[in-house]
């Protein structure tokens, strides 16, 4: 019965699955397989009896044969050729002043193709560079642009945790990482703390994201007040590792309770749970004493003295009242109508407005205009 083999073609590459066919293969051996791009030399890292999830048994191809000593020597020669090609390509890049950084060179097992991996800030016109490489090595040449994450995966580095980067050790597919993950995990949004060697957000932020999402779904919102069996409680903090909450009860009492205990006391009447304080009786409403009016002082006869009123102030000219003098007519005396002796009012027009005397224009002085001086010829 054939086995399912997990084969890697490089230390940082993905695991591809093949069938052992008629061969008996052990973990750690080298095999030769036929791929779409040619013959490949790989190491057996896994042995399974059934195909993994997502793989169909009919689509798994068998290996070509087991590797021998000659194949191992060919692999060493290909590695030496890759180093020489790396140095030669760097010289060509410097000669043509191309804004690109060469990362690694891969040579296929049968030398049918060479792949040059590089990084660049934008698009690069490397047509002349390909001509130089084809003229030197006489094989198919491919220049493949990669990102900073794949660059770190190929080169390797030490992460903030002090260990080798996850992408170099075991991570083969990059999952999307967002700043929202760092916020939900209550991390300091300091770029130097949450960024990896590549300058992007650390891949390990996505490892515990599912646990944080489940915890945030079950726990209440921080900063909100809830009615519980202990009275009104405000949620201060949520601890993911302890699965607990810190709440502020009435009387400024802070208490830490587990998430399961919170589900039992939330939205329950006061005192309905064991250990909860009994509800306090509502305070009685106290009416304010009725204010009595102040007593008046009694006079010598025993009767209440009348209140003294303040003297009324006579209206002045500024108030526009009675103190304003009447308008004077001719001779300095006020005009009056003959019947009542009161000062006469000004006549009003038909529409109710006060009539005003017509405005006269100033008369012009009679005289001749000065004659214009003639220009002297």
- Cα end-to-end span (Å), the chain: 135
List the domain boundaries for the chain: 4-67, 74-146, 179-214, 220-265
Measure Cα distances from 322 to 131, 317, 340, 348 in Å: 113, 8, 18, 22
- Cα–Cα distance for residue pair 122/356, rounded to 1 Å: 87
Cα three-residue angle 369-372-377, rounded to 5 degrees: 165
Eight-class DSSP state of 330: G
Residue 297 has a pLDDT of 58
Helix (H) / strand (E) element for 93: namely: helix 69-96
What is the pLDDT at residue 103? 94
Q: What is the pLDDT of residue 311?
A: 64
Q: What class has domain 220-265?
A: mainly beta
CATH superfamily of 74-146: K homology (KH) domain (3.30.300.20)
Query: How many angstroms separate the CA atoms of 59 and 36, rounded?
Result: 14
Rounded average pLDDT per 10-residue block, the chain, 377 residues: 82 84 87 87 86 71 90 92 94 92 92 93 90 93 92 88 88 88 88 89 90 90 89 90 90 88 84 60 60 63 58 60 49 48 52 64 66 56
Instruction: State the greatest distance between any 2 C-alpha atoms of the chain, in Å, as a whole number.
Output: 147
Instruction: Say if CB 235 and CB 247 are below 8 A apart.
Output: yes
């Amino acid at each position: 019965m054939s086995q399912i083999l997990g084969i890697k073609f490089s230390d940082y590459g993905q695991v591809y699955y093949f069938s052992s066919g008629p061969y008996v293969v052990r973990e750690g051996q080298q095999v030769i397989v036929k791929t779409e791009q040619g013959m490949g030399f790989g190491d057996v890292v896994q042995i399974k009896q059934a195909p993994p999830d997502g793989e169909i048994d009919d689509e798994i191809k068998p290996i070509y044969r087991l590797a021998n000593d000659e194949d191992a020597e060919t692999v060493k020669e290909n590695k030496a050729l890759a180093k020489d090609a790396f140095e030669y390509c760097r010289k060509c890049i410097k000669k043509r002043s191309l804004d690109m950084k060469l990362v690694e060179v891969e040579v296929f097992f049968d030398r049918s193709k060479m792949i040059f991996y590089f990084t660049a800030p934008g698009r690069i016109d490397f047509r002349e560079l390909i001509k130089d490489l084809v003229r030197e090595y006489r094989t198919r040449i491919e220049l493949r642009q990669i990102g900073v994450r794949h660059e770190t995966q190929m080169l390797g580095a030490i992460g903030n945790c002090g260990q080798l980067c996850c992408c170099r050790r075991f991570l083969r597919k990059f999952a999307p990482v967002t700043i929202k993950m760092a916020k939900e995990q209550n991390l300091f949004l300091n770029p130097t703390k949450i960024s990896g060697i590549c300058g992007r957000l650390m891949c390990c932020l996505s490892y515990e994201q599912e646990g944080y999402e489940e915890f945030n779904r079950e726990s209440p919102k921080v900063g909100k007040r809830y009615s519980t069996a202990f009275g009104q409680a405000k949620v201060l903090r949520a601890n993911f590792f302890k699965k607990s909450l810190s709440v502020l009860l009435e009387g400024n009492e802070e208490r830490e309770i587990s998430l399961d205990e919170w589900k039992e006391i939330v939205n329950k009447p006061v005192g309905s749970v064991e250990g909860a304080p009994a509800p306090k009786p509502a305070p009685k409403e106290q009416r304010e004493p009725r204010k009595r009016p102040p007593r008046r002082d009694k006079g010598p006869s025993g009767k209440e003295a009348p209140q003294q009123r303040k003297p009324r102030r006579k209206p002045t000219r500024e108030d526009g009242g009675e103190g304003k003098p009447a308008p004077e007519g001719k001779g300095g005396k006020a005009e009056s109508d003959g019947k009542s002796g009161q000062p006469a009012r000004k006549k009003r027009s038909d529409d109710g407005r006060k009539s005003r005397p017509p405005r006269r224009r100033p008369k012009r002085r009679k005289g001749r205009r000065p004659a214009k001086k003639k220009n002297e010829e």
